[in-house]
Structure 1
Amino acid sequence: MKDRYLFADEAGCFTFTRQPNVSKYFIICTVTTKTLDVSTALNSLRHRLVWEGLSIGDFFHATVDAQAVRDRVFEEMLKHEFQVQAMICEKAKAQPQVRSSKARFYKYPWYYLFKHGIAPHIVEDMRLLIIAASIGTKKERTTFTTALSDVMDQTVGGIPWAVDFRPSHCDPGLQVADYCAWAIQRKWERGDTRSFDLIKDRISYEFDLWKHGTTLHY
């Protein structure tokens, strides 16, 4: 049985209005890997940065890390094997019933990402451990877990799999996903491809879910 790992993070928010500091897109980003080498490498990098006297937070977080730290994290990440998949959702194109609850909206990008971006690469002698960054309240996380489990049953239910929601600071693999999600979000929200260009060769799937939609609902 071959172990595979999938680390997942999201970029954007669940606010469906047009106002300052509200994201235009909601993005699910996954990082798939055959080993935990990149996670181990980020732990080692943190130790080196401490010795070098760089200012770092409690964990690597692309939004708040200094550019000098970001540069080193991307450099270290790219020494190791991983692939990136992303589902892009322009929130204003989501029909009202799709965004009737956070859990229902959350399920849409996950379902299509797994169906088209991940499931085609699943083989029978594989088991998949999904580590997703925890979001929302404890009650909301329960509904997110249920939604994700339903997606797994529909798309890759033929292999052993397990889901673990945990805070990003608990797992360096989630910090890799955070960096990739941030790079993709910068491209879509701001047209800034500086960081995206660093990882674009690792992106095996990137899709705009409602790209053919023309109606904006707010």
Structure 2
Amino acid sequence: MSNNYIFADEAGCFTFNRKQNVSKYFIICTVTTTSLDVGHALHELRHQLLWEKAEVGDFFHATVDSQAIRNRVFEEILKHDFQVQATICEKAKAQPHVCKEKSRFYKYPWFYQFKHGISRHVDKDMRVMITAASIGTKKERATFTNALSDVMSQTIKGVPWAVDFRPSHCDPCLQLADYCAWAIQRKWELGDTRSYDLIEDRISYEYELWKYGKTLYY
């Protein structure tokens, strides 16, 4: 039985208003791969950057890394085989009952992501491990885990699977997901496609969930 690894991160926030520094979109991004080699490569890249006296943080994080570091990370990850899926939610189009609770809102893009973007690539002879970057409080993470487990039970039938939430610094493959989510967010929020263009040929699914919605609720 082969392994299918899914690493997930989100971009945007759970705040639903038009105040300053509030994201327009909430984006779920997943990276799927059958090998963990890219994670090992990122681990080695950090060591190499330290030898070069480069200014690196505790782990790779696209939002705070310098452009020079981002260039090296993108250069390294593109040497490896992976696919990217993303579901984009324009938050103002979410009906009030959908965004009343974080876990309920969180579940919507995940369901579409798995049903249309991931499940069709999962074979019966695979087992699936999904590792998502930790968000929210301990209590909220438990709720998110239950929501994600429910989604997987509905969309991936007859396949062994497991769910894990952990901080991004604990797994370099989550840092890969962070970089891909950041690149996609830059495109949607700012119209900046410089980094998106680097990974565009790896994107197998990019779907705007409420694209045809006309009503804005705030």
Fold shared, TM-score > 0.5 on shorter chain: yes
Paired position in structure 2 for 1:152? 152
| 1:97-156 CA-partner distances (Å, limit 9, x unpaired) | 110100000000000000000011111100000000010000000000000000000000
Paired position in structure 2 for 1:78? 78
Paired position in structure 2 for 1:46? 46
CA RMSD of aligned residues (A): 0.4
Gaps of at least 5 residues in structure 2 are: none
Paired position in structure 1 for 2:170? 170
Paired position in structure 2 for 1:199? 199
Distance 1:149 1:34 in 2: 21
| 1:4-49 CA-partner distances (Å, limit 9, x unpaired) | 1000000000000001100000000000001001001000100000
Distance 1:142 1:164 in 2: 10
Distance 1:11 1:53 in 2: 30
Deviation at 1:159, TM superposition (A): 0.1
When normalised by structure 2's length, the TM-score is 1.00
Give the aligned residue type for 1:24.
K
Q: Secondary structure at the match of 1:215?
A: coil
Distance 1:122 1:34 in 2: 11
Once the two structures are superposed, the pairs formed by residues 25-174 of structure 1 within 5 Å of their partners are 25-174=25-174
Give the aligned residue type for 2:36.
L
Q: Secondary structure at the match of 2:59?
A: coil
Distance 1:108 1:46 in 2: 35
Give the aligned residue type for 1:64.
V
Paired position in structure 1 for 2:9? 9
Deviation at 1:157, TM superposition (A): 2.8
When normalised by structure 1's length, the TM-score is 1.00
Give the aligned residue type for 2:49.
L
Distance 2:121 2:81 in 1: 16
Paired position in structure 2 for 1:209? 209
Q: Secondary structure at the match of 1:8?
A: strand
| 1:48-88 CA-partner distances (Å, limit 9, x unpaired) | 00000100000000000000000000000000000000000
Deviation at 1:2, TM superposition (A): 0.6
Give the aligned residue type for 1:129.
M
Distance 2:89 2:215 in 1: 14
Give the aligned residue type for 2:50.
V
Distance 1:158 1:167 in 2: 29
Runs of 4+ in 1 over 2 A off after TM superposition: none
| 1:156-213 CA-partner distances (Å, limit 9, x unpaired) | 0310000010000000000000000000000000000000000000000000000000
Q: Secondary structure at the match of 2:169?
A: helix
Distance 1:122 1:171 in 2: 23
Distance 1:178 1:92 in 2: 24
Distance 1:55 1:157 in 2: 45
Number of aligned residues? 218
